[in-house]
Amino acid sequence: MGTSWARVHGGTKKGPMTLCCREGREGEVAAQEQAARAPRPPAVAAALKFVLMVGAMSLFADFTYEGSRSIVGPYLGALGAGALAIAVITGLGEFLG
């Protein structure tokens, strides 16, 4: 509405606009670009770091838990438990957990 083609498209057909336009779409686009380049606030960076660290901790906890569950049967066998005892204990463990 009253904005010329040159102002909307960043200049004239012969060259770019040399003056900074503080009104209209150019101002909105410039503000969005500046916000995208701005560094993250410390709270956001700290929250992201916390989430990534909790995720890594959860990954290693799953490795430990699943690894220990997979060796329960052979461990009980090494301790001298019979096949029926191993089957009951590991089956009960799978059922409960």
Q: Do the beta carbons of residue 31 and residue 15 sit within 8 Å?
A: no
Are residues 90 and 58 part of one domain?
yes
CA distance 27 to 31: 6
Are residues 33 and 61 part of one domain?
no
Residues 32-88 have pLDDT tens digits of 777 777 777 888 889 999 999 999 999 999 999 888 888 989 999 999 999 999 999
Q: Is residue 48 part of a domain?
A: no
Q: Is residue 77 part of a domain?
A: yes
Are residues 59 and 32 part of one domain?
no
Are residues 89 and 60 part of one domain?
yes
Q: Is residue 75 part of a domain?
A: yes
Are residues 29 and 61 part of one domain?
no
The reply to whether the predicted model has a pTM over 0.75 is no
Q: Is residue 47 part of a domain?
A: no
Give residue 68's domain range.
53-96
Q: Do the beta carbons of residue 10 and residue 16 sit within 8 Å?
A: yes
Confidence at 18, pLDDT banded by 50, 70, 90: very low
* Domain count within the chain: 2
Are residues 82 and 58 part of one domain?
yes
